[in-house]
Amino acid sequence: MTVQHVMIIGGTSGIGLGLARHYAGRGARVAVCGRHPDKVAGLPLLRDGRVTAHACDIADRDRVAAVVAEFAAGGLDLLIVTAGQYTDAAAIARDPAATLPVLRVNVGGLDHAFSAGAEAMLARGHGHLVAVASIAGLQRDYPGGSVYSASKRAAIAIGDAWRKALAPFAIAVTVVVPGYVDTARLRELNGGDASGKPFLMSEDEAVQRIAAAIARRDERCVFPWQMHALVRLFNLLPLALKRLRSK
């Protein structure tokens, strides 16, 4: 049986950690990467000798390239990027420079990871790149729209561009576009309780949907359908009504 080699950047928490557990449970060799790998040091997942944790700030191009190259020396079949940065309107109002980490992680960081992953996969003639974006990225741009939404639109576009570029080389690219998922981070951003978010999905269900889309090598996976429908409706609204949306 061939062992799958999976790297997850942003894998120390949330959906990324859930995906790490999913693939480790299926016997894969898994690299869990994040800025603070000590967060997973005591987890049972790390007792599996096939699972390793790596310090990696996705905004650091050189570090990303080094970590990917080191892991890929033993093989790299699947690279998943779940790392993301969110800053709300209040934080930006206090400090306009708060937008910069959002761009460095959600846009620049994704390109760093895909560049390094593609290089390793091209050398082997196969592979699969996956970006976990956000349904916020499906909102059309409008005056007053959030930097976060803009960054996720860019992430979706980056995935689409890499897909076209890598199609001749048997390397797939999947862009995952989820709605609200009940992660610890989402709860933290909402005072400890995210239950008021529309069409909230459990982390486990999100992981299963993402893994299924990856297995099918889908180009894009958007869920839940209800949130997708709401975003489509929002895009049809007059500009004056869009501006009333709270950030």
Q: How confident is the model over 42-61, as a mean pLDDT? A: 93
> Percentage of the chain surpassing pLDDT 90?
79
Least confident of 43-57, 80-94, 159-173: 80-94
- Look at the block and give the residue holding tokens 């091209």: 122
Q: pLDDT at position 245, please?
A: 64
C-beta contacts of 62-65 below 8 A and 24+ residues apart:
64/9, 64/109, 64/112, 64/113, 64/116, 65/112, 65/115, 65/116
Higher-scoring residue by pLDDT: 240, 172: 172
Q: How confident is the model over 45-71, as a mean pLDDT? A: 95
pLDDT higher than threshold 70 for residue 242: no
Q: pLDDT at position 87, please?
A: 83
pTM of the model: 0.93
Binning pLDDT at 50, 70 and 90, where does residue 247 land? very low
Structure tokens that stand for 196 in this block: 């008021």
Q: pLDDT at position 142, please?
A: 80
Q: pLDDT at position 18, please?
A: 97
**Could you tell me whether strands 5-9 and 51-55 are parallel, antiparallel, or unpaired per DSSP bridges?**
unpaired
Structure tokens that stand for 16 in this block: 């990324």
- Look at the block and give the residue holding tokens 């889908």: 218
Residue type for position 39: K
Q: pLDDT at position 42, please?
A: 86
Q: How confident is the model over 118-140, as a mean pLDDT? A: 96
Binning pLDDT at 50, 70 and 90, where does residue 239 land? confident
Tell me how far apart the alpha carbons of residues 88 and 85 are, in angstroms, rounded to a whole number.
Answer: 10
Q: Which CATH code for domain 5-242?
A: 3.40.50.720
Q: pLDDT at position 216, please?
A: 98
Binning pLDDT at 50, 70 and 90, where does residue 50 land? very high
pLDDT tens track for 137-188: 999 988 778 899 999 999 999 999 999 999 999 999 999 999 999 999 999 8
